[in-house]
Amino acid sequence: MKQQVYLGVDLGAESGRVIAGLWDGKTMQLEELHRFANGGVPIADTLRWNTVGLWSEIQQGLTLAGRKFGKGVTSVGVDTWGVDFALLSKSGELLGQPFHYRDARTNGMFQAAFERVPRQEIFAETGLQFMEINSLYQLLALRKNSPEILAAAETFLMMPDFLNYCLSGARVCEFTDATTTQCVNPKKRAWAYGLLEKCGLPTKMFPEIVPPGNRIGSLRKSLAALTGLDRISVVAPATHDTGSAVAGVPTLHTGKRNWAYLSSGTWSLLGVEVEEALITPRVLELNFTNEGGVDGTYRLLKNIVGLWLVQQCRRAFVAKGRNYDYAQLVDLAVAAPPFRSLIDPNDSLFLNPVDMPQAMQEFCRATGQAVPETEGQFIRCALESLALTYAGVLDGLEELTGVKTDVIHIVGGGSRNHLLNQFTASACNRLVVAGPVEATVLGNLLVQARSQGELQSLAEIRSVVTASSELMRFEPADVAAWRDTRGRFAALGRRLG
């Protein structure tokens, strides 16, 4: 068959890419066209996304695609992180610069929400893990701090939906990302209007929710002329990057579901795929979340602070003139003594500290542990703590589903961290299969290809991912030492009270 080209716009917390997927009917080969930096921008005591700058970079990537592939491009789709959003006026004006989820304005918003709606009722309506970064608490902070903007909002769009609006003019929200808001009822697969009204939030601004793989429009005429592309289809893939990453898990056991996924990057998202959202008192007690997936599935998972710990340690080291790359930091961690210092990655200390190493030291002092001092000790502490956290989360998933996990698929940028992969296999006492690094963009591109009729099912998508990827296996090692350490690790939270 004639080669088809699909374009994936993939935005993460640290960087963004425009990638071409070259489809030959059997495999999807990737070609990176444009890569650019991303991150929060401090302004006037707030933290925002450089939304216009991101759009400018995306246009540059599309222009490069137009020059290289011209009329050979079939469609384009966007995926990004969850929870953050943009608001549009009636005429389509962007109302303010969208906030970064690490902005401090949501601190204390749980109390504001629970004063209006009990915690149990919010969970019953949404099935979502309680995190103050969720869109619901961002909206409550906006109602408190800038009610005039909320009053002027005609349309609420998640970040990938806003970029799809820039591409096509469509004002819709894609299902997988909408379910990260804590504003969607997973049983009804619709906005939780009753909850939103009880929270004092306007409901008229929430647009139609569309399923992943929906063709939402064509490239704007002006944008086609600017980039040299035809008026190609704009497809909403699984626009939440984890939704696309889970679609890109290279498992051939979709029906059996004896596997878990770990989307490993700035955040770690560890979960399993289920047919229906699981909304029970025990899920609420364990603070798990139900997020939408492809083909009507749900992702029962836990959000865990991930390689953010390592990224911010490296940032602190570089600021002091110690310019290590990530590979060098892993080498230093290998040489550091095991299980010397441990932290709870999800402690609020680590959400957005001024100095991550200092925050880690503070935690260790408060829990009576040896305090990390060297670069290798800090990184080993972070990686061991993540692996032990994963083990506890896996226990919770198996309890909730009644299904034993035989293999953990680690996908995303963190799948390149061989030390963390090995720690995960050992702490969880499970086989780990690592890769692909580009699961998110593969999932994005293959959902687009399916929207064109090239593939018929999620199982076929995963079969293509397997055929298109190089994978690595990690077997458990030193299991007894990791098992013994789990008891000490579990006690850390109790010691902090």
Over residues 389-434, the pLDDT tens digits come to 999 999 999 999 999 999 999 999 999 999 999 999 999 999 999 9
Residue 227 has pLDDT above 70, yes or no: yes
Query: Binning pLDDT at 50, 70 and 90, where does residue 497 land?
Result: very low
| pLDDT, mean over the chain | 96
pLDDT of residue 492: 86
Percentage of the residues of the chain whose pLDDT score is greater than 70: 98
Inter-residue contact 302 to 395 (CB < 8 Å): no
Among 472, 492, 270, which residue's Cα sits nearest to residue 390?
270
pLDDT tens for residues 315-338? 999 999 999 999 999 999 999 999
Residue type, 340: R
Residue 191 has pLDDT above 90, yes or no: yes
β-partners of residue 432 are 408, 474
What pTM, to 2 d.p., does this model score? 0.93
pLDDT tens for residues 143-156? 999 999 999 999 99
Q: What number is the average pLDDT over the span 242-254?
A: 88
pLDDT of residue 1: 62
What's the CATH number for 4-239? 3.30.420.40
Residue 189 has pLDDT above 70, yes or no: yes
Query: Binning pLDDT at 50, 70 and 90, where does residue 2 land?
Result: confident
Give me the helix-helix angle, 479-496 and 375-401, nearest 10°.
90
pLDDT tens for residues 284-321? 999 999 999 999 999 999 999 999 999 999 999 999 99
Query: Binning pLDDT at 50, 70 and 90, where does residue 256 land?
Result: low
Query: Binning pLDDT at 50, 70 and 90, where does residue 186 land?
Result: very high
pLDDT tens for residues 440-478? 999 999 999 999 999 999 999 999 999 999 999 999 999
The active-site residue out of 79, 161, 177, 241 is 241
pLDDT of residue 253: 61
Residue type, 418: H
pLDDT tens for residues 387-398? 999 999 999 999
- Other beta carbons within 10 angstroms of residue 475's beta carbon come to 10
Q: Is the dihedral of CA 123, 127, 128, 134 positive or negative?
A: negative
Percentage of the residues of the chain whose pLDDT score is greater than 90: 96
pLDDT of residue 495: 47
What's the CATH number for 240-435+471-497? 3.30.420.40
Residue type, 48: R
Give 252's Cβ-side CA count (13 Å radius).
4
One fold for 4-239 and 240-435+471-497: yes
Q: What number is the average pLDDT over the span 372-399?
A: 98
pLDDT tens for residues 58-83? 999 999 999 999 999 999 999 999 99
- Other beta carbons within 10 angstroms of residue 362's beta carbon come to 16
Q: For the chain, what are the domain ranges?
A: 4-239, 240-435+471-497
Inter-residue contact 224 to 374 (CB < 8 Å): no
CA 199 to chain centre: 26
Catalytic residue flag (residue 103): no
pLDDT tens for residues 29-63? 999 999 999 999 999 999 999 999 999 999 999 99
Q: What number is the average pLDDT over the span 91-101?
A: 96
